[in-house]
């Protein structure tokens, strides 16, 4: 393999940076460079989304494969509360202390990575987690050549089918009974559809089924999904029945 000289490396980093936007602080920028070297990234493109707490950027490696970088960049008072709430009673984060906003973002990115991993390893269709570095999470890119797949809410009417509904329900079932997690923010805004299959995304807030709010969160997720498909003329199962069946399976007798 050809050795990359210092000068050349610097030039490469500059190329990489050109396309990244200006909301990125110095430390995040350095982390972008670190993760880019680790993952062999050639180029990072403009953000495909700017949510409340994070932005998602497509990036391509020198081998031509695509990854999605989710960069957590602000810590609002609201996100701080949410992070603390969801971190609480999650045994995987017991003892974790956030002393600064930056630390909080790191914990949150790590939590999303951990949730993705737990889901992916248990057969839930989510983007494959690749790496996490402080506030940056790298995962499989869902889409084609840097163009993301549509979200469930963006689908044309004729692609909202009973099969797709069944596929989403199957993912929820695996999530609860195998990964033992509840998504907690599931709706048509956090499901992507690629090649006829659904991908569950945005799993940072997912909690173990033992969480004190697990039942309420699962019920809400199920109702959101039912409501969406029902409003598009799909025959859906009663969310309460589905809930009791799932709960019976994971927590018999309670
Ligand atoms: N792995 C991925 N591949 C392709 N696109 C993705 C991927 N993950 C997320 N996206 C896109 O980025 C958007 C934001 O992702 P996500 O929902 O995880 O972040 P968020 O911070 O919750 O943003 P929002 O507040 O807008 O929901 C998604 O709606 C989706 O369009
Ligand atoms: Mg989202």
**Residue 133 and residue 38 share a domain:** yes
Mean pLDDT of 134-156: 97
SS3 assignment, position 46: coil
How far is 167 from 155, CA to CA, in rounded Å?
A: 15
Question: Which ligand is the nearest neighbour of the Cα of 202?
Answer: 1
**Residue 170 and residue 228 share a domain:** yes
SS3 assignment, position 188: coil
Q: What is the pLDDT of residue 19?
A: 47
CATH number of the domain where residue 69 is located: 3.30.200.20
Residue identifier of the C-alpha nearest atom 25 of ligand 1: 51
**Residue 99 and residue 78 share a domain:** yes
94-121 pLDDT, tens digit each: 666 666 778 888 999 999 999 999 999 9
SS3 assignment, position 45: coil
Find out whether 130 and 139 touch, Cβ atoms under 8 Å: yes
Q: Give distance in angstroms: CA of 253 to centre of ligand 2.
A: 34
16-47 pLDDT, tens digit each: 655 456 567 888 889 999 999 999 999 999 89
Q: Could you tell me the pTM of the whole model?
A: 0.88
Q: What is the pLDDT of residue 24?
A: 77
Domain that holds residue 109: 30-144
How many structural domains is the chain composed of? Answer: 2
Q: Is 3's C-beta closer than 6 angstroms to any atom of ligand 1?
A: no
CATH number of the domain where residue 229 is located: 1.10.510.10
Find out whether 207 and 183 touch, Cβ atoms under 8 Å: no
Q: Is 146's C-beta closer than 6 angstroms to any atom of ligand 1?
A: no
Q: Give the active site residues.
A: 185, 202
């Amino acid at each position: 393999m050809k050795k990359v000289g210092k000068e050349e490396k610097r030039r490469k980093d500059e190329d990489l940076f050109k396309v990244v936007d200006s909301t990125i602080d110095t430390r995040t920028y350095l982390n972008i460079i670190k993760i880019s070297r680790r993952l062999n990234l050639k180029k990072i493109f403009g953000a495909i989304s700017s949510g409340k707490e994070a932005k998602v950027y497509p990036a391509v490696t020198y081998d031509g494969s695509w990854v999605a970088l989710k960069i957590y960049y602000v810590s609002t008072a609201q996100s701080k509360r949410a992070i603390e709430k969801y971190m609480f009673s999650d045994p995987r984060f017991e003892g974790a202390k956030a002393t600064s906003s930056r630390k909080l973002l790191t914990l949150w990115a790590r939590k999303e990575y951990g949730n993705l991993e737990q889901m992916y390893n248990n057969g839930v269709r989510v983007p494959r987690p690749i790496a996490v570095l402080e506030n940056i999470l790298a995962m499989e890119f869902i889409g084609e050549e840097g163009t993301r797949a549509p979200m469930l809410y963006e689908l044309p009417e004729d692609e909202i089918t009973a099969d797709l509904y069944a596929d989403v329900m199957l993912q929820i079932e695996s999530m609860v009974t195998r990964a033992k997690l509840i998504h907690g923010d599931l709706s048509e805004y956090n499901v992507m559809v690629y090649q006829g299959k659904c991908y569950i995304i945005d799993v940072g807030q997912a909690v173990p089924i033992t969480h004190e709010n697990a039942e309420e969160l699962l019920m809400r997720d199920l109702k959101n999904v039912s409501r969406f498909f029902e409003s598009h003329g799909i025959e859906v199962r009663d969310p309460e029945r589905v809930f009791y069946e799932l709960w019976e399976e994971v927590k018999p007798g309670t």
